[in-house]
Structure 1
């Protein structure tokens, strides 16, 4: 089998620094949460450490090279979502933290989808040769599918495990056909400054997760469109872009 089992030493040195720093930070948070008996966050730390192993596992076992830039972004993404977002409450401290991560997720998922199709395109064992436009379209669809599946996961966790992954939003008005007293299919707009819940005034009506979900899918869409567009020109020019090469997976060969 014409594959290398290990990456070049130069690459190990570059990525190992990122791995070391992030792992030390996670270990510090792990013991801090363990000391506070915050066992749910302890589990998130363990999960983060496991997720850190996935890129290395893919390279060693499946023999697919993950470029330094892409691997670094993936590691920082995991750390930002689990440690900073969940444990350090960045999702609440910074209103657009979740939006930024979902945009990056759309970009990364599109990169992975395009890479997988490109690998099949160049593999002589598969009798397929997709056009650059179709490869870009598949990459876009792959990214959006990942985004939708994740929203399904968030909804399931909120519904069956009592979590709040689909963050709520205060709104001051809404439209509803249900409130049309004449029974017509015409929406009635309801405006309000505050509502009373169990005798306590709230500053508005709470949208339970819908706005958050649609915003997540929208920014995922933006990330997917951006990379798929660049990916189209990358495939069409057959890898002339040095920038895109930093995000494209490839299979190791004996000559590399």
Structure 2
């Protein structure tokens, strides 16, 4: 006889598998972060980089490319030539230009402008062997509560890139219980209004999961501040796969003292650089 809990568990697992398949497909897309071939920090000196058209530089007015005769780039569906300024780029913002099969990410991280070329044939992408995960267990979807700060607080965190720091605006903290203890994590603003995400490590970090960090998206709190921390959807950041990442490290205090046996694990051999 099928009981309600079986149906609930099956529905949870089916939803998780569909979500993770979509996440893996996006990760391995033709110009996703697995396709990044280099990381170039721009300076005031116009510089050419292997495989890219133009001489690139930056200033207070943002990145600039000087394209020689016969060189061009595609930006927003139009062809650009000559000297082109892209204007100031906001922190963690960016735009893309393309040259043939190569897409060039033009971005700002830690206050500095950079280029990250992406090519579908880069070995990190073509050799990607997938990311195993813990089996989706609904017991790891934990109820919690969001507590906002009186005013958002700027939180400075380190980076996997040596010498780089990131500053995130934190709207508050999320609390949840596990094994009879209350735990609190600093939260940051998510990609959609009201949504959140947390960066964390736990007792599995460096053992079965990536040592530097994992990220967990959290849907917007309800009117009473209630949230769900579904750790089965904890994911690796790009730094688990490529040396050309600038991923943030978790804030102080976001290390959980117990093993979170849920979410993504270390990438399989061939997918970790």
TM-score under structure 1 length normalisation: 0.23
Structure with bigger helix share is: 1
Specify which structure has the higher proportion of strand: 2
